[in-house]
């Protein structure tokens, strides 16, 4: 299965998990506490959540993109609540049909006209609105940061090991001059949206956006290729969408990246707006490495220290660039360019 497929499956499973918890909670509040009732609630929740997950990942994610959050949230909550209530009417009416010995269609209409339908719809609607608002907050601060802030993991400075990748657009000044402010903003927005899929696929965490630059981080794990695979997956995604960018903006985004890893200090800062930040020379070095890409004619550069933690697959090659002097650093640093040697027929990586 492709990384894109795995990501969609992962998101659907998360939706199923949330939906199942909701179903069990709902059963606990309004129905008998028997094993049969809980199993029935769980089964219905899984089916409903699966339908919602498929809608979200394959249909609505495209339809609702770039739409105002509040009205779209209300529409989604209404659609999902109505769907849940209608399925409940079909399932719960079976018991009415058997016990009262009335026609099944009459049992369904009896449920829809009765107080149970209103209760089910309003409860489901409220729950879904709360979930969608929570998910929006998570998107704003990042899933990992959301839980770290909630549990106060970084309320005091801690030293941890992380890989940093600074990804920067090539020729952004020329692009900004060619496009209007609004068009350039839309261009950057589309670009960040598209490469984010690669970041999620390979376990990266977006630290921050700075203008047309995005900073991505990973935990340091020996022999992990995630950071390398992420960069080339970004290239592949943009390459596949090059015709869309060309027709919409007359431009295709090309980018370069610098990577470095090591120990940094992480802590939460701010009073009115809390944020988790990283401090240390690793960040400055990674940024300086990215700044050398044009000079060394490389699209991806990384330090020798980071390369020690990475075991390149057969499809990749590291090219030594020598000891390079970086701005603001007294010692020279050994840098390596990384190239992909095995590529798909439809993608050259250029």
pLDDT at residue 343, as a whole number:
58
**% the chain with pLDDT above 90:** 36
User: Does residue 349 belong to any structural domain of this protein?
Assistant: no
89 and 152 belong to one structural domain? no
Q: What is the reported pTM?
A: 0.74
User: Does residue 161 belong to any structural domain of this protein?
Assistant: yes
Phi, psi for residue 211 in degrees, rounded to 5 = 65, -115
User: Does residue 347 belong to any structural domain of this protein?
Assistant: no
pLDDT at residue 2, as a whole number:
64
pLDDT at residue 304, as a whole number:
92
Domain final residue, candidates 85, 118, 141: 141
> How many CA atoms, within 13 angstroms, populate the side-chain half-sphere of residue 64?
17
> Which residue(s) pair with 87 in the sheet?
none
pLDDT digits (tens, 9 = 90+) for 144-168: 777 777 777 777 888 999 999 999 9
pLDDT at residue 345, as a whole number:
45
pLDDT digits (tens, 9 = 90+) for 324-334: 888 777 778 89
211 and 328 belong to one structural domain? yes
pLDDT at residue 350, as a whole number:
41
76 and 57 belong to one structural domain? yes
Binned at pLDDT 50, 70 and 90, residue 342 comes out as low
Binned at pLDDT 50, 70 and 90, residue 66 comes out as low
104 and 203 belong to one structural domain? no
183 and 283 belong to one structural domain? yes
pLDDT digits (tens, 9 = 90+) for 174-209: 899 999 999 999 999 999 999 998 998 898 999 999
91 and 171 belong to one structural domain? no
Domain final residue, candidates 119, 141, 163: 141
User: Does residue 345 belong to any structural domain of this protein?
Assistant: no
Burial label for 7, CB within 10 Å (0-12, 13-18, 19+), is middle
Domains in the chain, number: 2
Average of per-residue pLDDT values in the chain: 85
For residues 337 and 303, what is the distance between their CA atoms, to the nearest angstrom?
Answer: 9
Domain extent, residue 195, equals 143-340
User: Does residue 348 belong to any structural domain of this protein?
Assistant: no
180 and 207 belong to one structural domain? yes
170 and 285 belong to one structural domain? yes
154 and 221 belong to one structural domain? yes
- Say if strands 213-219 and 158-169 run parallel, antiparallel, or are unpaired: antiparallel
The answer to whether the CB of 293 falls within 8 A of the CB of 257 is: yes
153 and 291 belong to one structural domain? yes
C-alpha 124 chain-centroid distance: 25
29 and 153 belong to one structural domain? no
User: Does residue 27 belong to any structural domain of this protein?
Assistant: yes
- Say if strands 255-269 and 275-279 run parallel, antiparallel, or are unpaired: antiparallel
Domain final residue, candidates 110, 141, 172: 141
36 and 164 belong to one structural domain? no
pLDDT digits (tens, 9 = 90+) for 289-324: 999 999 999 999 999 999 988 888 778 999 999 888
pLDDT at residue 82, as a whole number:
85
User: Does residue 350 belong to any structural domain of this protein?
Assistant: no
User: Does residue 99 belong to any structural domain of this protein?
Assistant: yes
> Residue written as tokens 């839980």?
147
Say which CATH number the domain at 333 has: 3.30.70.1230
């Amino acid at each position: 299965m492709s990384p894109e497929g795995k990501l969609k499956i992962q998101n659907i499973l998360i939706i199923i998990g949330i939906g199942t918890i909701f179903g069990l909670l709902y059963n606990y509040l309004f129905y008998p506490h028997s094993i049969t009732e809980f199993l029935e609630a769980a089964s219905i929740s899984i089916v409903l959540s699966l339908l919602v997950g498929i809608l979200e990942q394959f249909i609505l994610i495209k339809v609702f993109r770039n739409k105002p959050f509040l009205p779209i949230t209300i529409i989604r909550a209404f659609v999902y609540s109505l769907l849940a209530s209608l399925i409940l009417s079909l399932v719960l009416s079976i018991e009415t049909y058997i016990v009262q010995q009335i026609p099944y269609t009459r049992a369904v209409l009896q449920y829809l006209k009765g107080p149970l339908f209103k209760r089910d719809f309003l409860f489901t609607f409220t729950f879904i609105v709360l979930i969608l608002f929570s998910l929006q907050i998570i998107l704003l601060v990042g899933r990992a940061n959301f839980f770290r802030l909630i549990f106060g993991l970084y309320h005091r400075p801690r030293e941890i090991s992380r890989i940093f990748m600074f990804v920067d657009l090539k020729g952004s000044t020329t692009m900004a001059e060619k496009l209007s402010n609004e068009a350039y903003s839309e261009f950057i927005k589309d670009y960040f949206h598209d490469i984010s899929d690669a970041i999620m696929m390979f376990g990266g965490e977006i630290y921050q956006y700075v203008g047309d630059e995005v900073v991505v981080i990973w935990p340091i794990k020996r022999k992990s290729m995630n950071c390398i695979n992420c960069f080339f997956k970004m290239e592949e995604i943009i390459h596949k969408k090059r015709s869309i960018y060309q027709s919409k903006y007359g431009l295709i985004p090309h980018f370069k990246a610098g990577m470095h890893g090591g120990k940094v200090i992480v802590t939460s800062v701010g009073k009115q707006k809390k944020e988790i930040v990283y401090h240390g020379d690793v960040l400055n070095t990674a940024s300086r490495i990215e700044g050398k890409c044009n000079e060394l004619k490389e699209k991806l550069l990384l330090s020798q220290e980071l390369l020690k933690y990475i075991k390149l697959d057969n499809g990749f090659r590291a090219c030594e660039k020598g000891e390079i002097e970086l701005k603001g650093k007294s010692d020279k640093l050994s840098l390596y360019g990384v190239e992909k040697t095995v590529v798909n027929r439809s993608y050259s990586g250029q």
